[in-house]
Amino acid sequence: MAKSTYEIDFEYLRDKGYRGLIFDIDNTLVEHNEPATDRARALFKRLSDTGFKTSVVSNNKEPRVRLFADDVGCLYVYKAGKPKASGYIKAMELMRTDRADTLVIGDQLFTDIWGANNTGLKSIMVGKVAFHEETHIYFKRVAEVIILAVYIITHRKRSVGELL
């Protein structure tokens, strides 16, 4: 887990052998349905300069995903059907990476992280970019908080308050 996508030590991950990074877009990199920001563009440039291959995998429609991906300079998979494995597998094919050297970064337990697990990929769950969300996502967040609280208590990683 990490508080933010933008606080992850990507150089450490590269040194650990990761070469492909799969990101969710909304609330992982930018607010819901927002275009790429200067911060997101700078991150993807840094990742490219560091030697990473990158892709966004989203359940959104192609126009939204393609526009974002083109703006930050990465590959993309739209209408991925997360948490199914097919979108992640397609992203690895596009990046020419495999399960051993690919990592997933996302903000939602029931789509991003579950999908990574379904595919046999390691993942980092990050704190969401913004607190306002679409209604259908809000209801999933309630269940996420309960599951994460149990995980934190049983693994004694950090306090529940840090996640909220």
Is residue 161 a contact partner of residue 149, using CB atoms and an 8 Å limit? no
Q: Which stretch, 22-26, 29-33, 142-146, has highest mean pLDDT?
A: 22-26
Chain centroid to CA 117: 13
> Which amino acid type is present at position 35?
P
Q: Which CATH code fits 5-130?
A: 3.40.50.1000
> In the chain, where are the structural domains located?
5-130
First to last CA, the chain: 13
According to the model, what pLDDT value does residue 12 have?
Answer: 94
CA distances from 147 to 46, 79, 106, 141 (A): 33, 26, 16, 10
pLDDT digits (tens, 9 = 90+) for 56-106: 999 999 999 999 999 999 999 999 999 999 999 999 999 999 999 999 999
Read off the tokens for 151: 């995980």
3-state secondary structure at position 111: helix
Query: How many Å apart are CA 145 and CA 164, to the nearest integer?
Result: 8
